[in-house]
Chain A
Amino acid sequence: MVKKQKKQSKNKTGKQRNKKERILISFNKNLYNLKSIKSAIKEYNNLADFSFKKTKKYIQVELSNIDKSVEKIIKDEFCNYVFFLMRS
């Protein structure tokens, strides 16, 4: 009997990642600063692939290829971490 295997990519540390899941976070430019967003992306880089673009009002951060173990909380934790960096 042949076992079916789901197609999943692995990151550098060998952890499973979810390719389909994508999360878009829009940070308002008046309330969040780009520097702390960039620093947060650096710190979270091993948990997902990040890309960001600037619009007139927002800095949009897109998360893809997210580590399965953190996919439920990564958005909220990331937003909190950006806040933390803004204050420090």
Chain B
Amino acid sequence: MVDLRNNTIRFVFDLQNYPKEALYGAAYVFLDKAYLFLDNKSSRKIEVSLKGKNKLNEKQLKNLKGEFLNELLNYTVRINLSKNNRKIREYIISQALFSAFGDDQVNKEDEVKYEDDPLGIAIPWEDKYGEKTEKTIKKQNRKTA
């Protein structure tokens, strides 16, 4: 309902379609643009009064209402998304915190000096398998031939 004399537009919407947090979010965005006032018409229905800070005509007041409803929808989507992604968000954060916390300990445990040589790379062939005998040399020569 447009009230040109008071430079105000009033409308009612149902809280079943929008969460209350979204209403507060949208209202907060509009604090700079308009004067806001809320009232409960029934347990689920809320009346919003938007009063222009400057003198507005009917079209501008209707635009203001449209912008408010868009902002309300925007906040509703954001809240729903944050609810849906809550688990994965918490998982990512916990992983990030865990790795940040345990980084030093993990590094110390995993840290291996090249002198330790756990895979035995630095051991010479002869020490590992013994020196080449005449038999092994003959076998190799046959294979290459």
The interface of chain A, by Cβ under 8 A from chain B, is 26, 28, 30-32, 57, 76-77, 79-80, 83-84, 86-87
- The CA of A80 and the CA of B31, in the complex, are separated in Å by 6
Partner of B36 from the list A26, A28, A30, A80 (CB cut-off 8 Å) is A80
Q: Is the CB of A84 within 8 A of B35?
A: no
Q: Besides the contacts A31-B46, A83-B31, what 20 more A-B pairs have beta carbons closer than 8 Å?
A: A28-B38, A28-B40, A30-B40, A31-B39, A31-B40, A32-B38, A57-B40, A76-B35, A76-B37, A76-B51, A77-B35, A79-B36, A79-B37, A83-B24, A83-B27, A83-B36, A84-B28, A86-B24, A87-B24, A87-B28
Which bucket holds chain B's interface residue count? 10 to 19
Chain B 23-76 interface residues, beta-carbon cutoff 8 Å to A:
24, 27-28, 31, 35-40, 46, 51
Q: Is the CB of A28 within 8 A of B39?
A: yes
A sample of 23 inter-chain contacts (CB < 8 A) reads A26-B39, A28-B38, A28-B40, A30-B40, A31-B40, A32-B38, A57-B40, A76-B35, A76-B51, A79-B35, A79-B36, A79-B37, A80-B31, A80-B35, A83-B24, A83-B27, A83-B28, A83-B31, A83-B36, A84-B28, A84-B31, A86-B24, A87-B28
Residues of chain B within 8 A (CB-CB) of A87 are 24, 28
Residues of chain B within 8 A (CB-CB) of A80 are 31, 35-36
Residues of chain B within 8 A (CB-CB) of A26 are 39
The interface of chain B, by Cβ under 8 A from chain A, is 24, 27-28, 31, 35-40, 46, 51
B36 → chain A, closest Cβ, in Å? 6
- The CA of A76 and the CA of B54, in the complex, are separated in Å by 13
- The CA of A80 and the CA of B35, in the complex, are separated in Å by 6
Q: Give the nearest-CB partner of A84 in chain B.
A: B31
Residues of chain B within 8 A (CB-CB) of A28 are 38-40
- The CA of A28 and the CA of B46, in the complex, are separated in Å by 10
- The CA of A6 and the CA of B52, in the complex, are separated in Å by 33
- The CA of A76 and the CA of B28, in the complex, are separated in Å by 14
Residues of chain B within 8 A (CB-CB) of A76 are 35, 37, 51
Q: Lowest 6 A-B CB distances belong to which pairs?
A: A76-B35, A31-B38, A87-B28, A28-B40, A79-B37, A80-B31
